[in-house]
Amino acid sequence: MNAAVWNAIPAALPTSIRALMHAPVNTRLVVNGWVRNVRRQKRYWFAEIADGSSGQSLQIVAPSLLAKEGDLPITPGSCIKAFGVLQRSHGTGQELELLADDLQVTGPCDAGSYPIQKQGHSDEFLRTQQHFRLRTERMSKIMRLKSKLAHAMASWLHSQDFVQIYAPSITEHDCEGGGEAFTVSSERRPDFFPKDAYLTVSAQLHLEIAASSISRVFSMAPVFRAENHQTSRHLAEFWMLECEMAFCDTLDSLLNFAETFLRESCGLLSREATEMDDESRSRLLTTFGRPIPRISYADAVDILAKHPESFEYCPQMGRDLQSEHEKFLCDRVFRGPVFVTDYPAALKPFYMKLNPDSQTVACADLLLPGMGEVLGGSLREDRAHVLKESMERKLSPAACESLQWYLDLRKFGCSPHGGFGLGFDRLLQFALSVGNIRDVVMLPRTAGAIKY
Ligand code: 4AD
């Protein structure tokens, strides 16, 4: 028994199944949960219940009289409350069980019409039942691991003197360089904002304000992109973990930091998330446990151009890499993750720092096998005159005007700085080897449909 864990349980809420696994036998308890299975024998009745607090379920054993058919509609999916005593299980498959002396059905469930059936369902079917699919073992586990990953990343960043910043989701700018922005229309409330605003595509520009005072900052927040990509890795709303660091003056130091961040936070997750399977653990370890190779965009295109027969779109200098090219680099060339660095300035947003060659920018995308880009970052242009020129070349006069504050940051005590954005849902999708990003998100938003 782990007394520390057991005693720490707040009395205000009923005991969770995760916590009661640490309680001593013979403890009297009240347990709540949703029924997974029911089995009736002559003298005893058995139900497996889960409450999502961990991957573990609890067996409830009750004298058959107590759970008489018809009197108590205890069916798969129903929500029940059991009163009883924790005991060592007489059966196999579980260490502890609750011997119940009273049972209540707090939420009956019509087994015939309940969409979640015991035999399991395809991912496609479960996507039509998003208000129920978290009740499956697989989806509830994904949600718990997602929560633990966010916690691991935040706690490691805090240990490195990072401060979490809560930037706004509504912004004046639609030019952050992260794809199409959704408009927050002022049509119906013309008195509200004096002009159209946008849902943010990235917190980066706002984080740069914070980094110019607090040095090391991060944000973990939803971002929105009105792109019609019907792929297994694109969402219209997704969560991005963004770091922005003052006093970061070389691309190598930025990438060293990104590498350490991924290694340490994924390591923490692997150690602490006991329900993570060995395959995921080893995928994280092999991917992030060793230094990640770096290749410049120009060298990558040179390599790719030698294999034109492998592609639908021929790789060409000055053109963006297609996902088939990214896949080739990871799967065939590096057989693992790779940072592609120093893209042509023309392919990248206005804020990236121009390299001494005046052609490329100090940036990198991290590509993962089977996934493609999961992280994008750069040094930020900190020279006011170079930034101004880049803005004037790439942005509309109105956008330049509204970004005067961004230029000001360069004029008053600017430090060399840089940062990156990590696709949080994509990282989880990769870690757990989930085929479609829609299945690591509770209520995914994609073009063409809005429900819930
Ligand atoms: O490369 P992106 O567009 O970077 C930025 O927006 C920078 N301003 C971030 C920064 O430097 N602070 O996006 C970052 C990551 C991508 O690498 C990808 O993993 C993920 O966000 N991403 C998406 N994930 C799901 N659905 C989409 N539509 C995504 N678009 C980008």
At 359 the pLDDT is 98
Distance in Å, CA 244 to ligand 1 centroid: 14
Other Cβ atoms closer than 10 A to 53: 16
Distance in Å, CA 440 to ligand 1 centroid: 17
Distance in Å, CA 105 to ligand 1 centroid: 46
Coil/strand/helix, residue 282: helix
Ligand 1 atom, smallest distance to 419 CA: 11
Nearest CA to ligand 1 atom 28: 234
Distance in Å, CA 76 to ligand 1 centroid: 41
At 3 the pLDDT is 47
Distance in Å, CA 310 to ligand 1 centroid: 27
- Name the percent of the chain in helix, strand, coil, to the closest 5: 35, 25, 40
79 touches 33 (CB < 8 A): yes
Q: Ligand 1: which of 171, 198, 202, 420 to mutate, judged by most atoms within 8 Å of the beta carbon? A: 202
pLDDT, averaged in runs of 10, over the chain (452 residues):
52 89 94 94 92 96 77 89 94 90 94 90 96 96 98 98 98 83 86 90 98 98 94 97 98 98 97 94 96 98 96 95 96 97 97 98 97 97 98 95 97 98 98 97 94 94
Nearest CA to ligand 1 atom 27: 234
- Phi and psi at residue 269, to the nearest 5°: -60, -45
Distance in Å, CA 441 to ligand 1 centroid: 16
Distance in Å, CA 422 to ligand 1 centroid: 6
At 62 the pLDDT is 93
> Which amino acid belongs to residue 155?
S
Nearest to 163 by CA among 285, 245, 270: 245
Nearest CA to ligand 1 atom 31: 423
Catalogue the long-range contacts made by 153-159 (C-beta closer than 8 Å, 24 or more residues apart): 153/220, 153/241, 153/261, 153/265, 154/218, 154/220, 155/268, 156/261, 156/264, 156/265, 156/268, 157/216, 157/218, 157/243, 157/261, 157/265
Nearest CA to ligand 1 atom 15: 423
Coil/strand/helix, residue 258: helix
Residues with CB under 6 A from ligand 1: 176, 178, 202, 204, 225, 227, 234-235, 238, 240, 242, 373-377, 419-421, 423, 425-426
At 5 the pLDDT is 55
29 touches 84 (CB < 8 A): yes
Q: Ligand 1: which of 171, 173, 238 to mutate, judged by most atoms within 8 Å of the beta carbon? A: 238
Q: Which residues pair with 86 in a beta bridge?
A: 98
Nearest CA to ligand 1 atom 30: 234
91 touches 44 (CB < 8 A): no
Q: Which two tokens stand for residue 244?
A: 């922005």
What is the DSSP-derived secondary structure letter of residue 359? S
First to last CA, the chain: 43
Distance in Å, CA 177 to ligand 1 centroid: 10
At 72 the pLDDT is 76
Distance (Å, whole) CA 326 – CA 338: 9
At 196 the pLDDT is 85
Pairing of strands 44-50, 28-40: antiparallel
Within a 13 Å sphere around the CA of 69, how many CA atoms are in the beta-carbon half? 7
Ligand 1 atom, smallest distance to 234 CA: 26
403 touches 286 (CB < 8 A): no
Distance in Å, CA 178 to ligand 1 centroid: 7
Ligand 1 atom, smallest distance to 202 CA: 6
